Structure 1
């Protein structure tokens, strides 16, 4: 089967958290976590296809994306 887009999964997760805990909208930690997950998933997609099987390159890209 097809995998859902990472952004859609993240959006559903954020909506679920905000539904269960509306106060999370004011929590800086929650937004930093969302930003880190988004950055990591975005950076890992930027890795050229031929390098995606190299674990170290994917790990470095994901870590850099989460840190930025």
Structure 2
């Protein structure tokens, strides 16, 4: 059984990079979670998932990320 982690702890962990000026802004945690789930469902690597998000409009619609 996997332990349940509260959302507030995850927000604190993933919000470390918000104070940096350079680089891209981080995606919201809910979008990152949906991307990870889709990556597992479709058995895609990180570069393949990134390419699919750019190429396949139905995946962007499923993520509510246009």
Q: TM-score range by the shorter chain?
A: 0.3 to 0.5
The structure with the greater share of residues assigned to helix is: 1
TM-score w.r.t. the length of structure 1 is 0.35
Query: Taking CA–CA contacts closer than 8 Å with sequence separation of 6 or more, which of the two structures ends up with the larger relative contact order?
Result: 1
